[in-house]
Chains A and B, each alone.
Chain A
Amino acid sequence: MTTLDFISVRKTFGTTVALEGLDLDVQQGELITLLGPSGCGKTTALRIAAGFEFADSGAVLVAGSDITRTPAHKRNMGMVFQSYSLFPNLTVAQNVEFGLRTRKLPSEQRHRRVHEMMELVQLTSMANRYAHQLSGGQQQRVALARALAIQPQVLLLDEPLSALDAKVRTTLRDEIRRIQTEVGITTLFVTHDQEEALAISDRICVMSQGRVEQLGSPTEVYRRPSTAFVARFVGSMNEFAGHVGDGAEVSVLGRRIAVPSAAAHTTGTPVSLLVRPEDLALEADGFPGSVASITFQGATTLVGVRLDVSDTIVSVGVGRGKADDLSLGDRVHVDVHGVNAVTEPV
């Protein structure tokens, strides 16, 4: 059983702390995404797992073995990079074969493995092409095949989709997930794209300033963010100023809203109430306002409503068809459902 464990891993670059005691365990066959803004330490964690950087303190274990000081080429890690990393002097097949050659596998075994990998990423017909003859998406699929060919213990993916255009990105994202599930390989995926993280992960590790903010399933991270940072970073949020009332309620703009998370604060504490657009609804009762914008997003429509009481605009997520009759300037009422709202003391 191959697991990847970070135990209190700390890493600094000069005076900058990149990782502040990272603790993370990736289970066998699991895909965990490190999600966070630039400079949060997610790539540093991945590079430490790969052996390109060494931790100042703490330990990295693979299947229980300490690999903290093992050089990169002696770890059995497959890695796909953000920038296209195929060796330009080699063909697609030779690229996939590269890791097998360094392991000095017999020729027949190498060819069989290369063929398997090419079939896995559905690029058999491109075996004799060079990197510059492939599209970006194809190059990343070859990079994935090359990383998997060596049968690594852990697969490391460093923003492999960020250089691709939107359509290819979605397709390849699904392709990566399919292959990862098929192969059953323990995977650490790094991205700053929340949508990507929500779509592909078994669990998401949201990071900020070298620390783990929240570790949980995509649903948990999205629906029950543990901190205001996670709430703001994953998905979009409306913010209301208010103060905590009695019995898990928050008083906002003269209305009392039931918010379970408010129970953690003492009565009277001034807070920011963070509510997702889909937790606001256009109903008969609520804050009055007028429609300021309508943004069609396919399955849903985001309606911007300027509230009369505060002269601020809030985004309301409206399901298919429900916004069809709305026009700019229409009078509406916005109701707040506080069940999933997050409260942050001001």
Chain B
Amino acid sequence: MDLPLDAPLPIDPELGASTTAPTALAPQSVGRPNAKYARIVPITVVTISAFFFLLPLLTLARHSLQNVPAFLLGKDTIFTKWSLEPMWRAFDDPKFMPSLKLSLMLAVGTVFLTLALLVPTAVWTHLRLPKMRTFIEFITVLPYMIPAIALVAGIVIVKPHARWFLNSDFALIPFYVVLALPFTYRSIDAGLRAIDLRTLVDASRSLGAGWGTTLRKVLIPNLRTAIISASFLTAAVVIGEYTIASTLLKKTLPAFQREYTQREPQAGYALNLLALLVTTLLFVLLSVLTKKRDQSRKPYVPPAAEPTLPHTPTGTLT
């Protein structure tokens, strides 16, 4: 039965109704009655949290960047004598650059050692020892549970027997690798869970690639976001670590910051504020970079009329 598109629908004689699909119900309000109040809770939590984090930073900023005696800091002086000069003053200190350089070198070294150890370990665990994953996860959170000072106590005991090693500035790197484990392992682990690891590895190996090539050309490029995250987190841990560096008498940036703050309180606090801002900016940058990468991988939407292959019947029933 051919009907023009605008023709009325036929009536079913038995049902006495048009033989059409049931019409959709009129749209109804699906929002819960207290939906608008439900938003208040998260907004309140975020506001309180922001206040909790920002207030100390604001007071730190006032203390370090306002040339007003501390006992006069109040409502009346909130816009008075602000200056960035204390922030830059630390740069002129002769000990600043060497300590910054050392911290950056340690950060780079720690990132490399962490990735060199962790990426193959995590890949191997996922592929060959999946049952060990829980145990390894537990091991990696130990630095959370065992405070750095406990590690320091261990170092003090070992120190007389390992001066040849501990005298080097780079002796800090293995300790920093351990301290960063809770962050780095999780980041790499999440990256590995997001890809079809076994298939990619099998595909690569079936094409003649050994483990090294598979790691370099297949896995690392596909774990880029996870590796970037792990690297940033590791660098943040290294640049902020004070306890172990101080115990081993290393002149890292945090050690300098402490010593400098004792000498020049206002400029010291300004330097601390600057370090916080730089770290925050780095994390914002990380977030933007990873987000952009994810957005560039939208799934393919096939065109309406996708060209089909010529059909070649190959029935082999003989």
Q: Chain A: residues with CB nearer than 8 A to chain B?
A: 50-52, 71-79, 81, 83-85, 87-89, 98-99, 102-103, 122, 132-135, 143, 146-147, 150, 156, 171-175, 177-178, 181, 198-202, 217-219, 222
Give Cα A178–Cα B224 distance, bound, in whole angstroms: 39
Further 6 A-B residue pairs, CB within 8 A, beyond A73-B210, A103-B208: A85-B199, A98-B204, A98-B207, A132-B297, A135-B302, A217-B316
**B295-318: which residues lie under 8 A (CB-CB) from chain A?**
297-300, 302, 306, 308-309, 311-318
Give Cα A78–Cα B207 distance, bound, in whole angstroms: 7
Q: Is the CB of A72 within 8 A of B206?
A: yes
Give Cα A99–Cα B203 distance, bound, in whole angstroms: 10
Contacting B317 at CB < 8 Å: which of A77, A146, A219?
A219
Q: Is the CB of A102 within 8 A of B314?
A: no
Q: A73-B208, A135-B306 are in contact. Are A81 and B315 (CB under 8 A)?
A: no
Q: Tell me, yes or no, whether B59 is within 8 Å of chain A by CB.
A: no
Contacts of B210 in A (CB 8 A): 73
Contacts of A133 in B (CB 8 A): 300
Q: Is the CB of A77 within 8 A of B314?
A: no
Q: Is the CB of B209 within 8 A of A50?
A: no
Q: Is the CB of A177 within 8 A of B318?
A: no
Contacts of A81 in B (CB 8 A): 199, 202-203
Give Cα A51–Cα B205 distance, bound, in whole angstroms: 9
Q: A122-B309, A174-B314, A218-B317 are in contact. Are A135 and B300 (CB under 8 A)?
A: yes
Give Cα A52–Cα B206 distance, bound, in whole angstroms: 9
Contacting A83 at CB < 8 Å: which of B196, B205, B316, B317?
B196
Contacting B300 at CB < 8 Å: which of A74, A76, A87, A132?
A132
Contacts of B306 in A (CB 8 A): 135
Q: Is the CB of B206 within 8 A of A200?
A: no
Contacting B222 at CB < 8 Å: which of A75, A89, A99, A218?
A89
Give Cα A337–Cα B199 distance, bound, in whole angstroms: 48
Q: Is the CB of B208 within 8 A of A99?
A: yes
Q: Is the CB of A200 within 8 A of B316?
A: yes
Give Cα A297–Cα B196 distance, bound, in whole angstroms: 37
Q: Chain B: residues with CB nearer than 8 A to chain A?
A: 195-196, 199-200, 202-210, 213, 217-218, 221-222, 224, 297-300, 302, 306, 308-309, 311-318
B203, B221, B298, B311, most chain A CB atoms within 10 A: B203
Q: A122-B309, A132-B297, A133-B300 are in contact. Are A199 and B314 (CB under 8 A)?
A: yes
Contacts of A83 in B (CB 8 A): 196, 199
A131 to chain B: closest residue by CB: B300
Contacting B312 at CB < 8 Å: which of A102, A150, A174, A198?
A174
Contacting A50 at CB < 8 Å: which of B199, B202, B308, B316?
B202
Contacts of A200 in B (CB 8 A): 314, 316
Contacting B204 at CB < 8 Å: which of A75, A87, A143, A199?
A87
Q: Is the CB of B205 within 8 A of A52?
A: yes
Give Cα A112–Cα B315 distance, bound, in whole angstroms: 32
Q: How far is the CB of B223 from chain A (nearest CB, A)?
A: 10
Q: Is the CB of B208 within 8 A of A102?
A: yes
Give Cα A52–Cα B224 distance, bound, in whole angstroms: 26
A-B contact list, 14 entries, CB within 8 Å:
A51-B205, A73-B210, A76-B208, A77-B206, A79-B206, A83-B199, A99-B207, A102-B209, A103-B208, A156-B206, A181-B314, A199-B314, A201-B316, A222-B317
Q: Is the CB of B199 within 8 A of A219?
A: no
Q: Is the CB of A202 within 8 A of B309?
A: no
Q: Is the CB of B207 within 8 A of A102?
A: yes
Q: How far is the CB of B138 from chain A (nearest CB, A)?
A: 24
Contacts of A84 in B (CB 8 A): 196, 199
A51, A146, A174, A201, most chain B CB atoms within 10 A: A174
Give Cα A74–Cα B209 distance, bound, in whole angstroms: 8
Q: How far is the CB of A109 from chain B (nearest CB, A)?
A: 15
Q: Is the CB of A50 within 8 A of B206?
A: yes
Contacts of A222 in B (CB 8 A): 317
Q: How far is the CB of B3 from chain A (nearest CB, A)?
A: 24
Q: Is the CB of A88 within 8 A of B222?
A: yes
Q: How far is the CB of A138 from chain B (nearest CB, A)?
A: 9
Contacts of B311 in A (CB 8 A): 171, 174
Q: Is the CB of A72 within 8 A of B202?
A: yes
Q: Is the CB of A178 within 8 A of B222?
A: no
B208, B213, B315, most chain A CB atoms within 10 A: B208
Contacts of B217 in A (CB 8 A): 87, 98
Give Cα A98–Cα B15 distance, bound, in whole angstroms: 65
Give Cα A74–Cα B211 distance, bound, in whole angstroms: 12
Contacts of B207 in A (CB 8 A): 73, 98-99, 102, 146-147, 150
Q: How far is the CB of A272 from chain B (nearest CB, A)?
A: 26
B203 to chain A: closest residue by CB: A85
Contacting B203 at CB < 8 Å: which of A51, A76, A79?
A79
Q: How far is the CB of A209 from chain B (nearest CB, A)?
A: 24
Q: How far is the CB of A129 from chain B (nearest CB, A)?
A: 8
Give Cα A73–Cα B210 distance, bound, in whole angstroms: 6
Q: How far is the CB of A17 from chain B (nearest CB, A)?
A: 21
Contacting A178 at CB < 8 Å: which of B206, B298, B312?
B312
Give Cα A84–Cα B196 distance, bound, in whole angstroms: 9
Q: How far is the CB of A78 from chain B (nearest CB, A)?
A: 7
Contacts of A181 in B (CB 8 A): 314
Contacts of B213 in A (CB 8 A): 102
Contacts of B309 in A (CB 8 A): 122, 171-172, 174-175
Give Cα A200–Cα B314 distance, bound, in whole angstroms: 7
